Amino acid sequence: MSDSRRRIIAGNWKMNCSRAEAIQLASAIVADSNLNNNVEMLICIPHIHMADISKLLINSKIYLGAQDAHWESSGAFTGEISSSMLADYQVSHLLVGHSERREMFADDDSRVAKKFAAALNYGLKPILCIGESLEQRKQEMTLEVLKSQCQAVVDVVGINAFSQAYVAYEPIWAIGTGQTATPEQAEQVHAEIRAWFAEQSKDIAAQLPILYGGSMNAANAEDLLAQDNIDGGLIGGASLKVEDFLKIYSAAG
Ligand code: 13P
């Protein structure tokens, strides 16, 4: 982490938690967290729980995020919800292009770019998720894949839009597998992503938070977060356990 950039610990609850479980988890996070002004805490929760959880967070400094949203603000898109609807619930951040959505829900680069643009349009901070598969890593295509995922968004919104966004590097082979990139592996990739952004704008690159995601947990967070170019974490499984999530948060402080 660098002192000059914003630091963020974000939970991605994915499709987990009944209504009662969501309320219990968020309440415990609010009650037990000891927030540090230098580190942002964010929970990205299922849409259905927004009304309950936005009320719970209202007097806390914990940010509320969503995991996906359509690019249009309204219309005949059965089953979808929009960034403008989320904004009504004090949602401040939106995950865009998570690999699970890219792989299972046809979120290609073009949709991801449109979702990113719509989030910005409605005042949500997009968190652009990028990552390579194991196959792509073995073929030494990691950087090529990451750059093209970023380029597709820059082509649509322009580089300056990234002053209002974060990037999350989530190697697909490390998601939900318990297998983590080593701190050195992750740092190398983060530094290369930042160098790519610096080719477009040194200022944007210098301030852009790049989070690591992929089996970050209470045991490995400190070593990962000690790296210069790792500005925070996007945490799946461990964000569902209050104690683990708060330990990870403390490691960023
Ligand atoms: P895990 O932390 O469960 O590996 O999930 C990472 C992730 O996908 C966060 O968005």
Q: Could you read off the pLDDT of 152-211 as tens digits, one per residue?
A: 999 999 999 999 999 999 999 999 888 888 999 999 999 999 999 999 999 999 999 999
| C-alpha span between 82 and 86 (Å, rounded) | 6
Task: Name the amino acid, one letter, at 59.
Answer: N
| C-alpha span between 136 and 130 (Å, rounded) | 13
Q: Which residues are catalytic?
A: 98, 170
Residues 115 and 69: beta-carbon distance below 8 Å:
yes
What is the model's pLDDT at position 156?
98
Query: Mutation test of ligand 1: which of 170, 217, 244 has the most ligand atoms closer than 8 Å to its C-beta?
Result: 170
Express each pLDDT in 11-58 by its tens digit. 999 999 999 999 999 999 999 999 999 999 999 999 999 999 999 999
Ligand 1 lined by 171 (C-beta under 6 Å): no
Residues 46 and 13: beta-carbon distance below 8 Å:
yes
CA 219 and chain centroid, separation = 20
Residue 69 corresponds to which tokens in the numbers above?
Answer: 């949203």
Ligand 1 lined by 94 (C-beta under 6 Å): no
Q: Which CATH number fits domain 7-251: 3.40.50.10490, 3.50.50.60, 3.40.50.150, 3.20.20.70?
A: 3.20.20.70
CA 51 and chain centroid, separation = 21
Instruction: State the distance from the centre of ligand 1 to the C-alpha of 79, rounded, in angstroms.
Output: 24
Question: Can you give the pTM of this predicted structure?
Answer: 0.97
Ligand 1 lined by 232 (C-beta under 6 Å): no
Domain boundaries in the chain? Answer: 7-251
Residue 45 corresponds to which tokens in the numbers above?
Answer: 């929760």
pLDDT at residue 2 greater than cutoff 90: no
Letter string b/e over residues 108-144, b meaning 16 or more CB atoms within 10 A of that residue's CB: ebebbbbbbbbbbebebbbbbbbbbbeebbeeeebbe
Query: Mutation test of ligand 1: which of 94, 134, 167, 215 has the most ligand atoms closer than 8 Å to its C-beta?
Result: 215
Task: Name the amino acid, one letter, at 19.
Answer: R
The closest alpha carbon to 214, from 119, 109, 130, 113, belongs to: 130
| C-alpha span between 29 and 132 (Å, rounded) | 31
pLDDT at residue 3 greater than cutoff 80: no
CA distances to 10, 56, 122, 192, 228 from 93, in Å: 10, 17, 10, 25, 24
pLDDT band at 148 (very low <50, low <70, confident <90, very high): very high
pLDDT at residue 250 greater than cutoff 80: yes
Ligand 1 lined by 131 (C-beta under 6 Å): no
Residues 218 and 238: beta-carbon distance below 8 Å:
yes
Which residue's entry shows tokens 């002192």?
3
Residue 10 corresponds to which tokens in the numbers above?
Answer: 């974000």
Ligand 1 lined by 175 (C-beta under 6 Å): yes
Express each pLDDT in 56-68 by its tens digit. 999 999 999 999 9
